[in-house]
Amino acid sequence: MARRLAIIGGDAAGMSAASTARRRDPDLEVVAFERGPYSSYSACGIPYYVGALFDDPDRLISRSPDEHRANGLTLFMRTEVTAIDLDARRLTVVDRQSGDERSEPFDELVYATGAEAVAPPIPGAEATEPVRTVDAAERFRAALERGGDHQHVVVIGGGYIGLEMAEALVQRNIATTLIEAAPQVMGTLDADMAAHVQDAAEGLGIRVLVGTAVEEILLDPLGAPRAVRAGGETIDADHVVMATGVKPAVALAEDAGIELGPSGAVRVDDHQRCPGHDGVYAAGDCAESWHRILEQPVNIQLGTHANKQGRIAGANLTGGDLAFPGVIGTAVSRLCRYEVARTGISEREAGQADIAVVAAEVKDKTRAGYFPGAGPIWVKLVCEPGTGRLLGGQIVGVEGAAKRIDVLATCVWAGMTVDEIELLDLGYAPPYSGVYDPVLVAARAAAKRIS
Ligand SMILES: Cc1cc2nc3c(=O)[nH]c(=O)nc-3n(C[C@H](O)[C@H](O)[C@H](O)COP(=O)(O)OP(=O)(O)OC[C@H]3O[C@@H](n4cnc5c(N)ncnc54)[C@H](O)[C@@H]3O)c2cc1C
């Protein structure tokens, strides 16, 4: 009898594990269960679909169920796993269309259920739908297109997803208010860098309210949002986008006795194995990752980690020996012309973790000052006092600003000091930077501060 691998969750982590395992062991039977209608979709592309950068939602699907099936995988779509029995090696699954329940056996298991939105405890929040899946994005875009001119949308939550959705809306000439309870947008940046993002958002015409808690979402007689009460005012809203954060989807694992770690996500070792449960793996947004700078497990929900962790789980359960090396919190995002990026730890995170740091911020230009189109770029570096080892970086700026974070991420990963970074051999030509790239200028500023 062929061994049977069951995958719970048919997106980035789950299907990377499925494809890798199947490729490495063609005799393995691989069965994936996905409660939604789409497999291997790019949630990352949803804001750009909502913003009408392209019209066909199928372009968000990197591999359809039929394409997976053609590669020898079995996929049960619209099928939810409702219980895991680790001793009996069986899953309880429910066909969401027929309501039929059945039991499915497995030898190995990959738990890849992702993350789920956390709606704040606000009256009316239950009437909103998080735009996290392709079908939800299709419904939201159709509603925008039915709404005609002069719509107003309130986005609740000023993290990168809230900002990307706000960007999508203003690009469609839809009046947009973004409300954030914290004193700044982009909580993953320090306040000084987040202020540049807020300026950029306001420059695009997004009304940004920070330090403002939403008190209530007012509903019309049919139960649809019609206004938001926040900060003492009532803001009319044809639609409300909830982007207030997510938590790892761990209930099913917890019920089965799979251990959670301190971050609240599924505990895994560096091979994506769930400790104490042979043949059980977890990957992606539902699982912990080791943070190489903070030296503790964290739960950072990004597609870039989900794909790699899924691949590693798929390799290891078919006899491989791959370790996931951990994360350093690298992320990029865009707000129309402005780009936002971060890696390592911020000054605030350092303070929270009792790590002493020295920080330096510079403002520079993205091209040689005389070159047409040069725009602003701010680079902030956080480094270890004494040694000058780079612990983190943040970048906000126009054209090409964000991907400079990859240089900083590589330096953080490699443990380089700002002295070493200051003289790195980076490319230069006037259309791309000044003779000293802003990254080098920031490194020099940081080196001066520690000397
Ligand atoms: C709007 C948006 C923009 C984003 N932009 C970026 C970006 O620019 N860069 C980046 O790196 N990341 C981005 N992300 C995050 C990225 O999409 C996720 O990190 C990635 O999808 C995680 O993959 P995953 O497989 O772990 O989880 P998911 O993609 O959440 O997949 C989990 C799947 O499991 C299914 N499932 C859950 N429970 C069950 C069950 N009991 N039975 C059956 N099926 C189940 C779910 O339906 C889901 O399809 C973005 C996310 C969103 C929502």
Task: Please state the rounded mean pLDDT for residues 219-230.
Answer: 95
Q: How far is the CA of 304 from the centre of ligand 1 (A)?
A: 11
**What's the mean pLDDT in 432-438?**
96
By DSSP bridging, strand 29-33 and strand 376-383 are unpaired
Q: What is the pLDDT of residues 442-451, one digit of tens each?
A: 999 999 999 8
Test site for ligand 1: of 63, 301, 340, most ligand atoms within 8 A of the Cβ: 301
Q: Give the Å distance between the CA of 374 and the centre of ligand 1.
A: 36
Cα of 316 vs centre of ligand 1, distance in Å, is: 22
Of all residues in the chain, the percent with pLDDT exceeding 70 is 100
**CB-defined site of ligand 1, < 6 Å:** 8-14, 33-36, 43-44, 46-47, 80-81, 112-115, 132, 161, 249, 252, 284-285, 301-304, 306
Query: What pLDDT was estimated at residue 430?
Result: 97
Q: What DSSP element (H or E) covers 122?
A: none
Instruction: Using most ligand atoms within 8 A of CB, pick from 20, 44, 272, 406 the residue to mutate for ligand 1.
Output: 44
By the 10 Å C-beta count (0-12 exposed, 13-18 middle, 19+ buried), 403 is classed as exposed
**What pLDDT is recorded for position 171?**
93
**What integer best gives the mean pLDDT of the chain?**
96
135 SS3 class:
helix
Helical spans, DSSP H, in 210-357: 251-256, 303-316, 347-352
SS3 202: helix
Stated pTM of the model: 0.96
CA-nearest of 153, 126, 165 to 45 is 165
Sheet holding 233-236, edge to edge: 214-219, 225-230, 233-236
Q: Shortest CA distance to 377 belongs to which of 408, 345, 419?
A: 408
- C-alpha to C-alpha distance for 300 and 334, rounded to whole angstroms: 19
**Cα 337 to the center of its chain, rounded Å:** 20
Residue 101 CA to residue 81 CA, distance in Å, equals 10
Catalytic site residue 44? yes
Q: 302 C-alpha vs ligand 1 centroid, how far in Å?
A: 8
Which pLDDT belongs to residue 276?
97
For residue 1, the model assigns a pLDDT of: 77
- Give mean pLDDT, residues 317-341: 96
pLDDT at residue 129, rounded to an integer: 85
pLDDT of residue 20: 98
Give tens-digit pLDDT for 64-117: 999 999 999 999 999 999 999 999 999 999 999 999 999 999 999 999 999 999
Residue 181's pLDDT band, with cuts at 50, 70 and 90, is: very high
- CA atoms of 128 and 237, how far apart (whole Å): 12
Can you say whether residue 306 is alpha, beta or left, with left for phi > 0 and alpha for psi between -120 and 50 degrees?
A: alpha
- Single-letter amino acid, residue 39: S
Tell me how far apart the alpha carbons of residues 280 and 45 are, in angstroms, rounded to a whole number: 30
Q: What is the pLDDT of residues 132-157, one digit of tens each?
A: 999 999 999 999 999 888 899 999 99
